[in-house]
Amino acid sequence: MDRNKVQEALNPITDGLFGKQRPVRYERPHFKVRPLVRMLQDLTSIPIEDMYAYAFSREPLNGKFDDGQRKSWMKQAVCCGREYAEKICCLYGVRSPEELSEAMGLKVEYPTFPENADRVLFAEFREPGNIKIYMDAVKKAHKFTERPEVKEVLTEQLDIKGLLLAHELFHFVEEKYKDEIFTKQEKIRLWSLGPLHNDSTVIALSEIAAMAFAQAITGIPYSPYVMDVFLVYGYSPEEASGLYEEIMEYAGKIPCCEEGEPV
């Protein structure tokens, strides 16, 4: 389910909430802008396991699964990420994402922007061992952490650059251990015909495990999915608020009031 589908599904509600803003012709959806600190407070209180519906909403094969399957996979992928965090730290005898990357022979670069600016991208891993962290997004978000009330919610522990690096590092780790790791071994059968069949990995499992891995490596006390909203906020408070609403709905929670509204 993509954002537009979610919007369609929520239309009976949003019609009421958004007045008559729903466009007849295509237009970017409008979202109420929510106060950053309130959004962060809400999101940091959702345990990573409760993010399963949101985590799978980006999965191309999501329509093939039911909630029972999503929940069970979420648990297994979270365990996988945590297990490999311990395994890798033990193996290399270091704990910071930078030291781990160096020990594993990765090339890490910190350009300001992605070369292709057609989509929002904060970091990426490319085989065989290249990671890029895009600093424009990191710097924008970092500015907000200078506000004491934001720092209090996100804690001293947060190092945005390190968190993004740890996430990407997992994608390298799962390639390295692809013959045994859960995220590469777990597959679903797309079709079979006599002795022929086509099996596919589930991308969401890799993303969930990468988030759990990054949380374990950096030691932040909340799920790194919070960064989806926090990093987007630097570019568009409105889009970030839309994403926040979506995460809250998926987690079965009620979003906070909009900016300036009496609480």
**Where along the sequence are the contacts to Zn ion (CB under 5 A)?**
207, 210
Taking the least distance from each CB to Zn ion, the nearer of 78 and 153 is: 78
C-alpha distance from residue 261 to each of 10, 33, 60, 244 (Å): 22, 10, 37, 17
Min dist CB 189 to Zn ion, Å, is 24
Are the C-beta atoms of 217 and 100 separated by less than 8 Å? yes
Residue 57: CB atoms within 10 Å: 19
233: phi then psi, degrees, rounded to nearest 5? -55, -35
Residue number, 14 or 183, with CB nearest to Zn ion: 183
Q: Categorise residue 260: left if φ over 0, alpha if ψ from -120 to 50, beta otherwise.
A: left
* Residue of closest CB approach to Zn ion: 210
Q: In the complex, what is the shortest distance from the CB of residue 143 to Zn ion, in angstroms, rounded to a whole number?
A: 24
- 3-class DSSP state of 71: helix
207 vs 228 by CB, closer to Zn ion: 207
Q: Which helix (H) or strand (E) holds 124?
A: strand 123-126
- Smallest distance from the beta carbon of 214 to Zn ion, in angstroms? 9
The C-alpha angle 51, 52, 56, rounded to 5 degrees, equals 120
Q: How far is CA 86 from CA 80, 92, 198, in A?
A: 10, 10, 33
Instruction: Give residue 96's identity as a one-letter amino acid code.
Output: S
Q: How far is the CB of 29 from Zn ion (least distance, A)?
A: 25
Q: Taking the complex as a whole, how short is the minimal distance between the CB of residue 261 and Zn ion, in angstroms?
A: 35
Q: Pick between residue 70 and residue 171 the one whose CB is nearest to Zn ion.
A: 171
For Zn ion, give the closer residue by CB, 42 or 207: 207
Nearer to Zn ion, 210 or 251 (CB): 210
Q: How far is the CB of 209 from Zn ion (least distance, A)?
A: 9
